[in-house]
């Protein structure tokens, strides 16, 4: 009786957004008279960071500091329409809508600044710190705050913008399945190392190494949060979770977190991640979205690592100790494969 | 822990940005770490009532009689709601985007199709009073045979789960019981392959397991409106679904949400909002309807099970020449969103690889279990498990390193994908190369030099000749049109034929199919 180590890998891609019914989201951006901006959305922040990433996109597009932008979301009386937070669509679809709204608002802001400085708007640029100045002449400058006051009280301009991003409905050919399901794809490859106990059938995940390509990482810390959490979810899906342990027999369903197994803190393993950024041509600053796909490569990588460790293929999820042990017994013991 | 490989694809990016690309702290971080972020369930309203739903104890049964008299007399009960009280009891979520037929009641009236299906909602002063009254509702069931296996459900003579789809499959393009993908000729591919490998994969259902269970609080507001605090993942999707079910203009509702305690796809189904609002309308009081943990785990929708068969033809040099896939999505008793996942899955085939012959048949199947719904990786996660286990087996079969096998078959810029669109902006090869490097997994120099941006297109850009199968004529009635379609131009319609007045809806007597199930364009 022994514990056997093995390594397995998997590679995947993932479509960004949904392909049926059309996929729109809207955003509104406006400034108050102090030059502070509000983004109004109806999109949902599930904890993934929707508010934060759209805030950065808005600040970058306006050319103002991120602290001067606040994202207000999910009030149907004030936020314009959004399909919802699913299908890895938030960063790409909502981000693009916010970018379009911020561009329009920036246009008004620059016109108002031009009027105050008595120059052409095309000769102006933002410094990203809350000021607008003449290109090549930083001393001919006005603060965004002063522009906002002037626009509101002297010029009668609204520094505001509307944005929508729509991926139109794609027809699906009934005979061939020809369709345009997505406009861009994220990619990943993950290596999992496991240890399999041939006496109990238990599988422990020792470490993971991965590379994810997500378009531009608009906020690397939010990306890290998604990838680390998503890999944990994938590991849980691979080895622990099910509401029907003997599917398709519906009996024995768990009712709470005592009966529904998930890995605890002691089961989490080190995970080294590399992020590659191949910008999506139609993404906001090239962003795609790490939302859903980060869990996907973990499942097959673990299954393949188990084969490498003990020579059994478990093709039914979750890969419980019972299934591993039965398979090891059926082949007359562990058969470790070539170490990788 | 996280390393940004700025050196790769650097020529495609302008990294001269102020705010984008920075690891700025989250806007909502302070609220989250100090426990002051407001979730829907933090709204404790004066005079708030509570909903408890009576759920079916049977997987499949006719409802002979529902006796709520004792429950109605129970202490603290303000209202008992039945299917006949719901203005438009029958709905399907994707009717908002004109996909599928209304097939699911808010409260069951004539039949239950899964264990845990809501039959009656009790509204009471406290959750305890609601639970005690719910236990006093007597339901007289006539058991029907159930089916739990996706392939059993497709056999002739299998029990019909959902009369809207009598053959237990969703209807695609008004004629097929599955979504097809056809690219090239797999039979010719198999005939010329050095090895053919066919395997079966199975994924059981799993729970989203959010810390915050599904729920909402609805309250009468001024001027005849209702405010709704909700955990939804899709604010307007839920709002418009409620407007349809309650048959009211959408601006009757003021939905507030946006801070959610975990979703992962499990908070799109609008499980609680219609009954919470209806209860608020019927009682004039604020109403809270939140799923308990057991309800969330067993009767809240899971990620549905999938069964997948993959048959591959591969050459000794590692090239995959044909891939045939048959997949069954277990939708449970109702469609919810599984119909959409099937199409997404078909588009995903054959995975991120350039394979000249691909054949896919993906089914959305109805069984007598809790309806499935979206979950992180919807339509893809189960298929990726199957595809990548299969890839490992193929590499093993021909004695090739699995990393090199992926790189060899990876799609590249300019290749034609099986759904007949050109591959662009690809990066699978680079991901494999970097993961191998990180894991110190040796791959040969020629594979380290390959690139997503080189050697794609050309002959790989062609759509191969694909044998045509006899096309079936449309048979099913036209799909319904609903709220999001109203702006589309439609041909003038003749006046509808006069209809007999609907029978007065006695409790349990409304047959949904005669009222809502047959809307025409």
Band of residue A22 on the pLDDT scale cut at 50, 70, 90: confident
Band of residue B511 on the pLDDT scale cut at 50, 70, 90: very low
Confidence at residue A20, expressed as pLDDT on a 0 to 100 scale:
67
H helix or E strand, kind and range, residue A310 = helix A298-310
Task: Give the mutation candidate from B5, B17, B25, B27 for the A interface (greatest A CB count, under 10 A).
Answer: B27
Residue A40 has pLDDT above 60, yes or no: yes
Confidence at residue A175, expressed as pLDDT on a 0 to 100 scale:
97
B397 touching A (Cβ < 8 Å) = no
Tens digit of each residue's pLDDT (9 = 90 or more) over A154-184: 999 999 999 999 998 889 999 999 999 998 9
Gap between the Cα atoms of A64 and A127, Å rounded? 8
A12 touching B (Cβ < 8 Å) = yes
Least confident of A118-132, A317-331, B472-486: B472-486
Mean of the pLDDT values across residues B294-307? 96
Confidence at residue B310, expressed as pLDDT on a 0 to 100 scale:
98
Count of A–B CB contacts within 8 Å?
436
Q: Would the CB atoms of A13 and B352 count as touching at under 8 Å? A: yes
Confidence at residue B504, expressed as pLDDT on a 0 to 100 scale:
39
Tens digit of each residue's pLDDT (9 = 90 or more) over A11-21: 999 999 876 66
Among residues A119, A116, A186, the alpha carbon closest in space to that of A144 is found at: A116
**Summary mean pLDDT of chain B:** 92
Residue B408 has pLDDT above 90, yes or no: yes
Gap between the Cα atoms of A27 and A116, Å rounded? 28
Q: Are A250 and B332 in contact (CB under 8 A)?
A: no
Of B26, B376, B387, the CB nearest to A295: B376
Smallest Cα distance from B124 to chain A, Å = 25
Of A42, A70, A273, the CB nearest to B2: A273
Sheet containing A124-126, strands listed edge to edge, beginning at the edge strand earlier in sequence:
A124-126, A131-134, A137-143
Q: Would the CB atoms of B202 and A315 count as touching at under 8 Å? A: yes
Least confident of A81-85, A156-160, B512-516: B512-516
Q: Would the CB atoms of A237 and B18 count as touching at under 8 Å? A: no
Three-point CA angle A175, A181, A185, nearest 5°? 140
Smallest Cα distance from A15 to chain B, Å = 8
Among residues B276, B283, B282, B231, the alpha carbon closest in space to that of B253 is found at: B276
Q: Would the CB atoms of A60 and B17 count as touching at under 8 Å? A: yes
Residue B160 has pLDDT above 60, yes or no: yes
Q: What is the number of alpha carbons within 13 Å of residue B62 lying toward its C-beta? A: 8
A172 touching B (Cβ < 8 Å) = yes
Smallest Cα distance from B3 to chain A, Å = 5
A171 touching B (Cβ < 8 Å) = no
Question: pTM of the full predicted structure?
Answer: 0.94
Tens digit of each residue's pLDDT (9 = 90 or more) over B37-88: 999 999 999 999 999 999 999 999 999 999 999 999 999 999 999 999 999 9
Q: Would the CB atoms of A296 and B23 count as touching at under 8 Å? A: no
Smallest Cα distance from B499 to chain A, Å = 31
B422 touching A (Cβ < 8 Å) = no
- Three-state DSSP class for A124? strand
Of B302, B348, B388, the CB nearest to A300: B388
Which residues 260-299 on chain A approach chain B with CB closer than 8 angstroms? 260, 262, 271-281, 285-286, 291-293, 295-297, 299
The H-assigned helical ranges of B284-427 are 293-298, 338-348, 381-398, 402-409
Residue B497 has pLDDT above 50, yes or no: no
Mean of the pLDDT values across residues A114-140? 97
Gap between the Cα atoms of A292 and A86, Å rounded? 9
Residue B513 has pLDDT above 50, yes or no: no
Band of residue B239 on the pLDDT scale cut at 50, 70, 90: very high
* Two tokens, residue B107: 């409260």
A118 touching B (Cβ < 8 Å) = no
Residue A264 has pLDDT above 60, yes or no: yes
Domains of chain B: 47-144+209-298 (3.90.1170.50), 179-206+302-516 (3.30.365.10)
Q: Would the CB atoms of A128 and B19 count as touching at under 8 Å? A: yes
Gap between the Cα atoms of A43 and A81, Å rounded? 8
For residue A183, which residues of chain B lie inside 8 Å, CB to CB?
Answer: none
Tens digit of each residue's pLDDT (9 = 90 or more) over A91-108: 999 999 999 999 999 999
Does the complex come out with an ipTM higher than 0.95? yes
Confidence at residue B114, expressed as pLDDT on a 0 to 100 scale:
98
Q: Would the CB atoms of B384 and A297 count as touching at under 8 Å? A: yes
B284 touching A (Cβ < 8 Å) = no
Tens digit of each residue's pLDDT (9 = 90 or more) over B322-348: 999 999 999 999 999 999 999 999 999
* Two tokens, residue B173: 């393009």
Strand partners, A197: A3
Of B97, B202, B260, the CB nearest to A20: B97
pLDDT > 90 fraction of chain B, expressed in percent and rounded: 88
Band of residue B475 on the pLDDT scale cut at 50, 70, 90: low
Mean of the pLDDT values across residues A212-217? 97
Q: Which residue of B has its CA nearest to A340?
A: B441
Of A44, A63, A307, the CB nearest to B234: A44
Among residues B6, B422, B410, the alpha carbon closest in space to that of A279 is found at: B6
Residue with tokens 């005979």: A175
Mean of the pLDDT values across residues B417-431? 98
Of A7, A11, A43, the CB nearest to B352: A11
Least confident of B53-57, B95-99, B179-183: B95-99
Confidence at residue A87, expressed as pLDDT on a 0 to 100 scale:
87
Residue B371 has pLDDT above 50, yes or no: yes
Gap between the Cα atoms of A290 and A288, Å rounded? 7
Tens digit of each residue's pLDDT (9 = 90 or more) over A199-211: 999 999 999 999 9
Residue B492 has pLDDT above 80, yes or no: no
For residue A189, which residues of chain B lie inside 8 Å, CB to CB?
Answer: 406, 428, 431-432, 434-436
Gap between the Cα atoms of B289 and A298, Å rounded? 36
A225: Cβ contacts below 8 Å, ≥ 6 apart: A48, A49
To 10 degrees, the CA torsion angle through B507, B509, B512, B513? 180
Residue B382 has pLDDT above 70, yes or no: yes
Q: Would the CB atoms of B428 and A71 count as touching at under 8 Å? A: no
Confidence at residue B476, expressed as pLDDT on a 0 to 100 scale:
52
């Amino acid at each position: 009786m022994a514990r056997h180590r093995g390594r397995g890998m998997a590679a995947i891609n993932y479509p960004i957004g949904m392909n049926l019914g059309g996929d729109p989201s809207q955003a509104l951006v406006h400034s108050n008279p102090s030059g502070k901006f509000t983004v109004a959305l109806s999109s949902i922040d599930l904890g993934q960071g929707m508010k934060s990433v759209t805030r950065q996109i808005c600040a970058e597009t306006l050319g103002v500091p991120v602290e001067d932008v606040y994202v207000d979301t999910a009030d149907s009386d004030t936020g314009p329409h959004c399909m919802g937070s699913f299908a890895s669509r938030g960063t790409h679809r909502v981000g693009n809508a916010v970018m379009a709204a911020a561009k329009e608002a920036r246009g008004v802001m620059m016109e108002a600044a031009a009027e105050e400085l008595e120059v052409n708007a095309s000769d102006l640029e933002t410094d990203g710190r809350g000021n607008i100045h003449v290109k090549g002449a930083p001393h001919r400058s006005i603060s965004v705050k002063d522009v906002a006051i002037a626009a509101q009280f002297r010029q009668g301009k609204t520094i505001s913008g509307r944005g929508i991003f729509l991926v139109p409905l794609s027809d699906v050919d009934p005979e061939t399945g020809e369709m345009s399901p997505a406009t861009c794809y994220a990619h990943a490859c993950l290596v999992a190392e496991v240890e399999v106990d041939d006496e109990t059938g238990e599988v422990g995940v020792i470490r993971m190494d991965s590379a994810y390509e997500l378009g531009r990482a608009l906020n690397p810390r939010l990306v890290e949060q998604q990838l680390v959490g998503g890999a944990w979810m994938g590991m849980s899906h691979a080895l622990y979770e099910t509401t029907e342990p003997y599917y398709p027999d519906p009996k024995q369903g768990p009712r709470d977190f005592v009966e529904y197994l998930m890995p605890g803190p002691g089961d989490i393993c080190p995970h080294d991640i590399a992020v590659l950024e191949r910008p999506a041509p139609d993404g906001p600053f090239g962003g795609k979205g790490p939302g859903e796909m980060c869990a996907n490569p973990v499942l097959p990588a673990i299954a393949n690592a188990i084969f490498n460790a003990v020579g059994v293929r478990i093709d039914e999820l979750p890969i419980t100790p019972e299934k591993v042990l039965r398979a090891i017994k059926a082949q007359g013991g562990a058969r470790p494969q070539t170490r990788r | 822990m996280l390393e940004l490989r700025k050196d790769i694809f650097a020529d495609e990016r302008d990294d001269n940005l102020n705010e984008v690309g920075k690891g700025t702290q989250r806007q909502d971080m302070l609220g989250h770490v100090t426990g002051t972020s407001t979730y829907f369930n933090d709204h404790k309203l004066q005079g708030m009532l509570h909903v408890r739903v009576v759920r079916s104890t049977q997987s499949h049964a006719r409802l002979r009689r529902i006796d709520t008299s004792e429950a109605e007399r129970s202490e603290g009960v303000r209202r008992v709601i039945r299917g006949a009280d719901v203005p438009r009891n029958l709905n399907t979520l994707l009717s908002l985007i004109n996909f599928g037929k209304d097939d699911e009641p808010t409260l069951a009236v004539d039949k239950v199709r899964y264990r845990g299906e809501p039959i009656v909602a009790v509204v009471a002063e406290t959750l305890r009073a609601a639970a005690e009254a719910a236990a006093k509702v007597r339901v007289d069931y006539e058991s029907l045979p159930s089916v739990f296996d996706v392939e059993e459900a497709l056999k002739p003579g299998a029990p019909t789960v959902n009369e809207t789809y009598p053959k237990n499959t969703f209807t695609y393009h008004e004629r097929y019981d599955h979504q097809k993908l056809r690219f090239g000729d797999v039979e010719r591919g198999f005939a010329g392959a050095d090895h053919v490998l066919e395997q079966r994969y199975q994924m059981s259902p799993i729970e989203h397991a959010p810390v915050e269970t599904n729920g909402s609080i609805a309250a009468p507001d001024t001027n005849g409106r209702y405010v709704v605090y909700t955990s939804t993942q899709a604010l307007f999707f839920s709002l418009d679904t409620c407007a349809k079910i309650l048959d009211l203009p959408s601006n009757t509702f003021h939905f507030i949400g946006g801070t959610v305690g975990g979703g992962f796809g499990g908070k799109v189904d609008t499980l609680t909002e219609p009954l919470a609002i209806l209860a608020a309308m019927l009682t004039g009081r604020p109403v809270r309807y939140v799923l308990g943990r057991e309800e969330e785990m067993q009767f809240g929708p899971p990620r549905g099970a999938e069964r997948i068969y993959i048959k591959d033809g591969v050459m000794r040099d590692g090239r995959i020449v044909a891939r045939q896939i048959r997949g069954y999505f277990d939708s449970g008793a109702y469609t919810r969103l599984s119909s959409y996942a099937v199409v997404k899955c078909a588009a995903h085939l054959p995975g991120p690889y350039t394979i000249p012959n691909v054949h896919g048949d993906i089914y959305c199947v109805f069984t007598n279990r809790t309806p499935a719904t979206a979950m992180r990786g919807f339509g893809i996660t189960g298929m990726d498990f199957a595809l990548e286990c299969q890839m490992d087996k193929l590499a093993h079969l021909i004695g090739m390193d699995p990393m090199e096998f992926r790189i060899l078959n990876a799609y590249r810029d300019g290749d034609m994908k099986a759904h007949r669109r050109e591959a662009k902006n690809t990066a699978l090869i680079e991901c494999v190369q970097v993961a191998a490097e990180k894991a110190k997994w040796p791959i040969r120099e020629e594979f380290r030099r390959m690139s997503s941006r080189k050697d794609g297109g050309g002959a790989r850009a062609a759509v191969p000749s694909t044998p045509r199968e006899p096309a079936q004529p449309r048979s099913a009635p036209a799909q319904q049109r609903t709220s999001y379609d109203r702006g589309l131009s439609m041909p003038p319609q003749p006046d509808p034929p006069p209809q007999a007045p609907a029978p007065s809806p006695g409790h349990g007597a409304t047959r949904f199919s005669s009222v809502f199930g047959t809307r025409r364009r």
